[in-house]
Structure formats: C-alpha cells, structure tokens
Structure 1
Amino acid sequence: MTIRVVIVDDEPLARLAVTVRLARHAGFELAGEFGDGDSARAGIMALKPDLVFVDVEMPGRSGIELLSALPPAQRPMAILLTAYDSFAVQAFELAALDYLLKPVDDERFDEALDRARQAFPYRGRGRAAVAPETRALTFSVRTGSRTVLVPVAEVERIEADGDYATLHANGKTWLVRERLHQLALQLDPARFHRVHRSSIVRLDMIAELRSLTNRDALLRLRDGSVLRASRTYMPALAEALQQLKTKSDS
C-alpha cells in the first residue's frame, strides 16, 4: 500500500517540516507540494492524491475554501494544519481526518498518519492498508516464564497503557509490550478499527453507536463494555461499519 500525499502551505519551512516527518513513515509517497490554494486546486485535480496536508490560513484561497472547492468525489483525505483550534467544526464538516495545531509535535503527527492508514481502505481507490501476508495472526504475550499466543481472531478490543497495550480476549486481559499505533499496523482494517487515540475495537463487537453533541460517540460492545469514539476517527469508522453491514447483507 502506498498513500500518495500532497502538501499545501504558503510557508516553505512548514512544508519542509511535514516532508521530513513524512519521510520517516513507510507507505507514504510525496506526490507534490504547493504554496497557495489556487495552484493547489489545479494540482490536486491533476495528481489525484490520496491524502493532503493543507494549511488553513493562506493568502488568497484558504485551506477550507480549497477543500470546499473540490468535488466531494475527488476530495482527498485531509489533515488540516493550523495555529488555532477554532476551525475544528469546519474541518469535520468537510470530513477532514484530523487537524494539527502548529507547531506540530511528532506524536500527534504519527496519530494523524494512523488515521489516514485506517481510513484509506474505505476511500474508493484504496487497497487494504495491511497486506494479507503481513497481518498478525497471533500476539505473543509473556506471563512470567511462559509465552502465551493469543489469536488475533479472539481479540475484542485493545487499549493503550503507556508503552504497552492491553488485549481483551474471551474475558481475559493480556499485556503486550507494544504501543497501540504499532499494533494497529498489524491488524486487518476490515476487522479492526482505531476509535480513539487509546483504543482499537473489533468492528463486529460494536452493538450500538450513540452520537454525542460534540461529534464524539459512545460505543456499546457486545460484552457490555462502553467506549468513547473520538470525533476525529468517526468519518472512517462510519465508513468501515457501512462496509461491514453491506458485506453482511450480501
């Protein structure tokens, strides 16, 4: 899987900062960069990238105006770059994956790319975010002197715990020595989805989704657990659930 990226920002140093961070991540390819909204619109229509990092405030056409001017069917996944958080509502009206406050820190940048990987399979042109041959089938868990193999198919949800993560499977919990975003890259995106910066859920475990006024949602799982789904993950989660429903109905 390769996600093609365009960067739009009127500040050359800001574009360079995104380029340098992007180069640290496999599976992302820089397709182009633009310094203003007008040239970016033409460039995006021609290059057809999968993901765009776009500055909200630019001379002339703003980042919001740029995205609004693109036909919805041709609008790539978007991560907004801004010095203010007052654009959040507009960002999610345009189904932006995330918005990053400047100066951007590495952890938030990594989280935004995780969202892009999660959403990519459901964007029409996308292929599976994790190749079948590289998906994990089991997780190795150390318990004292023993190593237990926990089948991925039995995992119901995964929650972050600092540099570790907790697997919930068949009423048991297992602590694995990997960060949540690393585990997300090993999972089939058609079955598992990140719903919050601190949790991943197996999609068929979701029994009910209740929207909240702040665009977050509460998820009730089949085991009775209740989790919060962050609004930044909601567009991709909604598409994933629709795909799952379509598949089960066919």
Structure 2
Amino acid sequence: MNKLRTLIVDDEPLALKLLRVKLEKIQSIEIVGECKNGREAIAATLDLAPDIIFLDIQMPGLNGFDVVKGLQSDILPLIVFTTAYEQYALDAFDVHAVDYILKPIDDERIIRAVQRAQERLDGVDGQDNKPRILGAIDSINQTENPKQAVNKMLPGMLSSNVQVEKKVVIKDRDEITILKQSEIEWIDAAGDYVCLHAQGQTHIKRSTLKELLAELDENIFKRVHRSTIVNLNFIDKVIPHTKGEFFLLLGEFEKIKVSRNYKDAIKHFLLGE
C-alpha cells in the first residue's frame, strides 16, 4: 500500500505539533509538509501535490474554507477538517459526507479519517470532494432572513439596466455581491456550484458552469480545464508542464492548470489570434 502524502495546516504551533505527532504513529501516512496559514496551504498544495490535507478551519486571513475555494477542483486533495466548530456546522459536514476531526483531537477519529481517505482514493469516490465541501459550506451559510424576499428581486432589477458593464450577481446569506466581469480572474466549477475569484476574494455561487458561461463575455473568458475558466486579461505567465499541459500564473499566488484538451485556447491567445 502506498503511503498517503499528507499536508497538515493549523495556525496554532501546539496544535500543529500535536497533529504531527499523532499522524506519525500511522504507518500509512507520510507527512510532506506543514503550513501555518491558508496562503501557505494553497502554495504547498500546488508544489507538493498531497493526497490528503488535515486542514484547520478557523485561521486568520484565509480560513480553511477559503483554501478549498481557492484550489481547482481537479487538483484538490482529499480534505479532513480539524475544527472546534459548533454542532450545526458538523451536521452540515455529515450531510455532505465531508470528514472532520473535532478538537481536542482524538486518536480514534484520526484513524477513521485516514481509513476513509484511503477508501476514497482506492475507489471512484475521491474525485468529487470539492462539490461536497461547497455543499456543506452552503448549508452552513443558509439563514432565514426577512431580507431574502428583497434579495430575490434585486438581480432582475439590476439586470434590467442594459447600459452598465456586464456583472455577475451572487447571493450569500442576507447579502448580494455584484462582481464586474472584468474583475473576475478565474472560475472553478464544482457540481452545482461555481467559485469566482476576484480581487483576492473567492465567492461561491449556486450555479452550474454551463449556466454561468451563458452570462460571460466569450471574448475574454476561456475554458482551460473541464471545470476551470480563466479571464485572459489576468494571465501573467504560461509555464509548460508534462504531456502537453500548462500552468498559468495569474498574479502572485494563483496557479491554474491547463489540460491538454483545452491547450488550443491558450495557444491562440499567445499567438494573438
């Protein structure tokens, strides 16, 4: 049995040390890296390609949910959240089959999480973990609020003004965010959700990629993977990868994988066609 390449992430040094000590006792685990914040976790995932991440949720800056939203579905490892979250959040995790370890960390729970991870990697179930996590996040964010009735009216009111720049409307709890399409850097699809990355933030929208594509400007948004779209205006560098694939660098931190099936879109862009 191949060992699970494991990344552990926690902003508390003592919690990080405790988790490392407990995981080192499990023969099927190989710890390949440790991170103390979300930004480091995203970078380490891209560089180390771990099989599984033990990821703290509550961290300053980018939290655990932000890390998941910030990674492409196609390269996202299995995630086990380590959390002291309230029970309603844990119920959401259970409903969407997302694994977690409740703090203080328990040896038995860690072993169960590792066993589940191995089972998913051995089967076909490990390929769609991002939609599950986004489903749990969406469930956690759902609240009953009187403003919801007003929110349902706003998208239609906004879209009726044909003079304004093209935008994407995102409803989140009792708020509505309106993103200019020109500010969206890339989009990652996961099941019935899409993650829109703009100006250092990631927004979840309940929508399929096909539905969103109908709204986007086809001149600047190109699909580069089966579930990933990029805004060509934000590409800073193209790095060749293996088997005809590429990596796109968007700004300082974003690194997007281009599959060989969609490389022609980037080729035409580089040639100015």
Tell me which protein shows more helix as a share of its residues.
2
Q: Sort the TM-score into its range (normalised by shorter chain).
A: 0.3 to 0.5
